[in-house]
Amino acid sequence: MDSPAGQLQRAREQARSRLGDGYAQDLIDQDTLDERLEAVERAATVAEIDAIVADLRPVETTALVPASAAVAVSSPPARMRVLFSSIDRTGAWHVSPRTHVRVVFGNATIDLRQAVLPGGPIELDVNIVFGNLDLIIPPGWQLDNDCGAILGSVEQLSGPPPPGQPRQVLRLRGRVIFSSLTIHERLPGENAWGARKRRKREHKALAERSARALPAGDD
C-alpha cells in the first residue's frame, strides 16, 4: 500500500494532467489554470486535490494538432495546438501575422528561417504547460519577448544585434508553466554547434571594435 505521501504525489500528478487536458480543450482559461495549479501544490490532502479538478473529466486522446494550422494564412489568428504529442514547422511554410501556440504535455519546434512571412510584424501568443517550445529565427530580427514563466524557463540564444534596421519584428506574449521556451538565432542550414561558434566570433569582433573605438589613455 502506498504511503500517504505517495498517494498525495500521485494525486497531484493526476490533477496536473486533468488540468492540462481541460486547458487544451478550452474548458478552463489561463487564469483558472494558474490558480488551480497553485492550489494543487498547496493542497495537503488527496480530497482537497480531487475537489480542485472535480469538474474536469479525464479525456482519452493522443494529439490535438489540427491540419488547418499548417495552412491558415488568410484567416488570422491561426492556431497551433499540441497535446501529448509533438509538431515541427520547418521549411517554406506560411506564417500568419498572429498565431496562438498552445503546447500541453508535448513538444513543438517553430522554424522561421525559410518560412513565407506576412508583410509586417509577427505575433506569437504562446501558452506552454508541461511542454517545450523551440523557436528558431534568423539573425537580424527584432525580438520583443514578453513571456512570463511559472516554474519554467525562457532562454534566448542570440548574438549581438547587426547594424542597420531589423529585417523583421517578432513579438512574443504568453506564459510558460512547468515548461521551457528556447529562442535560437541561426542562419539557414546552421546547426546548434555552428550557431554557437558564429556567436562567439561575433561577440569577439564586437569587443575588438569597441576597444579600438575607445580613446587612447594618457601615459
pLDDT for 132-156, tens place per residue?
999 999 888 888 999 988 889 999 8
d(CA 157, CA 8): 38
Q: What is the mean pLDDT of residues 103-130?
A: 92
Q: From its phi and psi, is residue 44 left (phi > 0), alpha (psi between -120 and 50) or beta?
A: alpha
Of 177 and 218, which is predicted with more confidence? Answer: 177
Band of pLDDT at residue 182, cut at 50, 70 and 90: very high
What pLDDT is stored for residue 109 in this prediction? 95
Lowest mean pLDDT among 88-97, 158-167, 180-189: 158-167
The average confidence (pLDDT) of the chain is 81
Where residue 181 falls among pLDDT bands split at 50, 70, 90?
very high
pLDDT at 170 over 60: yes
Q: What is the pTM of this model?
A: 0.62
Would you give the distance in Å from CA 89 to the centre of its chain?
13
Tell me the pLDDT tens digit for each residue of 80-108: 989 889 999 999 999 999 999 999 999 99
Q: How far apart are CA 154 and CA 173, in angstroms?
A: 12
Give the rounded percent of residues in the chain with a pLDDT score beyond 70. 81
Instruction: Considering only residues 29 and 58, tell me which one the structure prediction assigns the higher pLDDT.
Output: 29
- Which is more confidently placed, 199 or 69? 199
